[in-house]
Amino acid sequence: MSIGVSFKAHRTSREAVVNFVREAIGRFRFFSPIVACSKKIDQEQPLQQSYIYKPASNAEEVKAWTEATLTIQRGNGRDLRQCLAQKAEEALPYVHPNGHEQYFHSFLICHEEENVYSFTTNLAHGFVDGRPVINFLRFVMDTIVSPNKDKKIQELEWGSEWKSLPEFPATLARRNLNLQLQSSNDNNNHDLVWEQGWQELKQKIEKIFDRKKLGEALKPTRHEPTGKGPVARVIHQISPGSLDSIKSELKNLGYSMAHLIQATHILTVLQRNRPLKPESYVTLDATMIDTTRFFPPEYPGPLTASSRTGFVPLIIEAKEIDWDASIRDQLISIMKSVNKQFKDYLRYPQLTLINTIGPTKPDVAPMHPHTCIISYIGVIDLKLPATILNETGDVALEITNFLPMHRHAGGFQRPCVEIR
C-alpha cells in the first residue's frame, strides 16, 4: 500500500527539508516502533508470521536506520501519480543496506521546480491501513513546518520505545472462515423446507465459533492453485437441498448469501454471550457484502465492473433482535439492519478511498478482477489541509496533491482518489 503527497515548502531550503523529513521518520519510530519491525515465520506453520521488534541501543543507531529507510530521489519530470505507481510496484520487505528486512520504506522526491517535493511511503497491509498512514504524513509535514516543536531524535529515551508497541502480538496470521456452498438440481432434495436450511447453516457456523481447545482454532492452509478463482479450504459443507431452499428464500427477500452468513455470525456471537445487557452490541470492522447494485454499471475508464465487494464497518445492537422470534425472523432482522447500514455508509460525503483490485500474480489465484474495496479514512482535509501554517501564522507549506495507491502485478495502477 502506498500513499503520497506533493507539497511546496516556503522559505525552507532543500537541504533543510531533507533533514527535517529524516528527523520526522526517526521520531515516528519512537512512537510507532512497528515500522522498524522484521518478520519471523514459524517453520512448522509458515502462515504464522509475526512482526519482531528489536529496541534501538541509542540515537545514532536510529539515525543510521533513518538514513536507510528514507530514499532521496530526483523527480526527473515525473508527477506524483508516476512516482507513486513506481513505488507501489516495489515488493516488500525492503532490504536495508545492512541486510535488515522491514515493511516500511519512504521516498522523498525532489522535483526540478524550486521547493516542490513529493513524499511517498510504502507499507505492508499487515499492520497498517489508510488512516494511520495519513496521520504519519501529517506528522512529517508538521515536522517540516515546526522542527523544534517536539523532542529531537537524540533527546528521546531509546531502548524504551518498545512500550509504544500494541499490547497484543503484532501478527500476520489469518483465520479463514470458508464454507463450501454447493447447489444441486436433485429433485429428491426439494421436499426439504427452507426452515431446515436456516437451522443447518446456523449450526455449521456455531460449530466453527464453539471450538473448545486453542489448538482447534481455524488456520488457513496453502494450496497450489489449479485454476482461476480464489483458493479456499473447506471447513464445513451445507447440504445441496438446504442450500437451494435458502437461496430461493433469500432471493424472495432480496438478500444475498453474504448477508446471511454475516447475520448468522452476528447472531452466534450474541447468543454465545447471553444474558446480554441492553447496550451490548457486535461490531464487524471488515464486513464483506456484494455492492454491485450500489454502483453504476460502468467504471470511469476502460474497466467495466461486473461484480464488486465492499468492506465497511458495521454495528449490530442486541436490542435490535427479538429473542422470542424464530431463527428465521432473527436473521432477517439482522440482514435488514446490515443492509440499511451499508446503504447509509455509501452515502457518506467523507467516503474517500475506493480501490479497484486486480489479480496479484500470474501464478497465484486472484481475487475477482473487479473487486472493489471501500475504506473509510476520514475527511482528508482535517488531516492534510491545503495549507499548513507556522507559529507566526504564515503559510509554510502547501499540499498540492494527495494520492493513495495499491500494489498489484501486471502494471495496473488505478488511483483510489486524487486531490489537486
* pLDDT at position 154 over 90: yes
Q: Which of 224-233, 242-251, 341-350 has the lowest mean pLDDT?
A: 224-233
Band the pLDDT of 262: cuts 50, 70, 90: confident
CATH topology of domain 2-167+379-405: Chloramphenicol Acetyltransferase (3.30.559)
Band the pLDDT of 25: cuts 50, 70, 90: very high
Q: Please report the pLDDT score of residue 261 as a whole number.
A: 77
* pLDDT at position 207 over 80: no
Q: Please report the pLDDT score of residue 303 as a whole number.
A: 33
Q: Please report the pLDDT score of residue 143 as a whole number.
A: 93
pLDDT average, residue stretch 90-107: 80
Q: Which of 209-218, 285-294, 384-393 has the lowest mean pLDDT?
A: 209-218
The ranges of the chain annotated as CATH 3.30.559.10 are: 2-167+379-405
pLDDT average, residue stretch 210-216: 37
Band the pLDDT of 13: cuts 50, 70, 90: very high
Cell of 243: 442450500
Exposure b/e, 226-257, CB count within 10 A at least 16 = b: eeeeeeeeeeeebebbbbbbbbebbeeeebbe
Q: With 0-12 CB in 10 A as exposed, 13-18 as middle and 19+ as buried, what is 22?
A: buried
Q: Which of 40-54, 77-91, 313-327, 339-353 has the lowest mean pLDDT?
A: 339-353
pLDDT average, residue stretch 58-84: 85
Q: Report helix, strand or coil for 280.
A: coil
More confident residue, 186 or 145: 145
Whether the model clears a pTM of 0.85, i.e. scores above it, the answer is: no
Q: Please report the pLDDT score of residue 164 as a whole number.
A: 73
Q: What is the pLDDT of residues 317-328, one digit of tens each?
A: 888 888 889 888
Band the pLDDT of 9: cuts 50, 70, 90: very high
Partners of 7 in the β-ladder: 117, 399
**Contact (Cβ atoms closer than 8 angstroms) between residue 123 and residue 138:** no
Q: Which of 37-51, 115-129, 167-181, 343-357 has the lowest mean pLDDT?
A: 167-181
* pLDDT at position 302 over 90: no
pLDDT average, residue stretch 2-8: 85
Band the pLDDT of 367: cuts 50, 70, 90: very low
- In sign, the C-alpha dihedral spanning 122, 94, 128, 44 is positive
Cell of 217: 482454532
Q: Please report the pLDDT score of residue 168 as a whole number.
A: 40
**How many CB atoms neighbour CB 382 within 10 A?**
10
- Mean pLDDT, the chain, rounded, equals 67
pLDDT average, residue stretch 271-291: 65
- Amino acid identity of residue 402, one-letter, is F
Cell of 369: 478482477
Q: Please report the pLDDT score of residue 149 as a whole number.
A: 85
Q: Please report the pLDDT score of residue 381 as a whole number.
A: 67
Exposure b/e, 328-353, CB count within 10 A at least 16 = b: bebbbbbbbbbbebbeebeeeeeebb
Q: What is the pLDDT of residues 328-339, one digit of tens each?
A: 889 899 988 888
